[in-house]
Structure 1
Amino acid sequence: MVVLGHFTNLTKIIMKTTTYRNHIASPFQLAPKKTFTKKDPLKEELLKNTGTFNLTAIIEEDIQTSSQFKHIPGFLGYICTLKIGNEVIGIGRGSAILNRMNKFVERGIRFAYGASIVDAVVRSTKTLDALYLKTSGQENPGVLKEETGEIDYTPELATDKQKSYLRELININVLDDRERDQWASQIDELTKDEASEKIQFFMR
């Protein structure tokens, strides 16, 4: 009876002091890596020139030019004045000659009309550049200075020593083969800080 009681007490002591870690909640919950995208000066410059522009096109008969070609029968012309607000940014001209070689009156007139608008728009580009420099305060147009912006941040990966030690801890503490393999497969993706956290988890 004494031996049996001693054996029973010994069994209780072993059960109290032995801890089985059949399943451990995975510490491999990888936090999203912080990345900072460097500003693209070309993209920023491109976006500065996008948007909605309210232009006014005033189209009139080009009497001055027509008077210079009054010796040519069937000559007609348009003048287009392009404005932003009250500021003139471009003046364009378009003309056509209507005679028996060009009998399509409506088509010829529409051609002269459209040509005056196109000419005004083309001529306005230099004016728009000047207005852009005036409003933006830039002295040297077209020279893009590289902006540093936020520095790209690439976290440093775990060292070989950290990864080796972490594998040992996983082999000791994780009994399930599938779960052990799953954890081990993520080790190479860990950063130094993440590997340190996992090691501390197993060392508790």
Structure 2
Amino acid sequence: MSDRRTGILEAATRVIARRGVRGLRMGELAAEAGVSTALIYYHFTDRAGTLRRTLEFISDRADHYTAEQEPSPRSEDPRTDLERVLLRELQDTSEVRENSTAWGELRATAVFEPDLREELARSTHTWVHDIAELLARANPTGTAPAHAAAAERLTALIEGLSVRWLSGSLPLDHARRLLRGAVETELERKRRVGPPGGPGRITDG
């Protein structure tokens, strides 16, 4: 991706985070990015195209800051890896605040703008799939459908916690504690096996 194109998408993310999707005007975006409106249309065709590519950019940037930063990405404890990746969605940095706010604005707008839904569904599916893979490493005996369902719950929780934290309804430390508790609950749930016709029991798996 060219530096100019990246700069436009970074500017679009800032404008959406600050003013919402409805506040994104090509003229304001051009001023924010320091380019002409003609260049924006050249790269993204129209406003709808700009929004779709911005959503893709936000998703890719989240992948970057949640990725492992250590030389050896995977530790000897898959559960630690899972928790670390999830908690990186709740960091008090300008990048995470901006990204999470813009993501929430785009998701809310997709209720009224069908053009956004396909890209949003694709990005969400990728996110859920990635978390399901981490859950599978943390609990190899679990089933793929169970991991996918747990990933759906955890990613939905992160979105809700982010909104409450960013809007000042929930302290960040408490949001992170709630997320850790949810991870614990999901992993413990997978250790509960209910034999047909009998009560559930705890296994070592």
Give the TM bin, normalised by the shorter chain: under 0.3
Bigger Cα Rg:
1
What TM-score do the two structures reach when normalised by structure 1?
Answer: 0.22
More strand by percentage: 1
What TM-score do the two structures reach when normalised by structure 2?
Answer: 0.22
More helix by percentage: 2
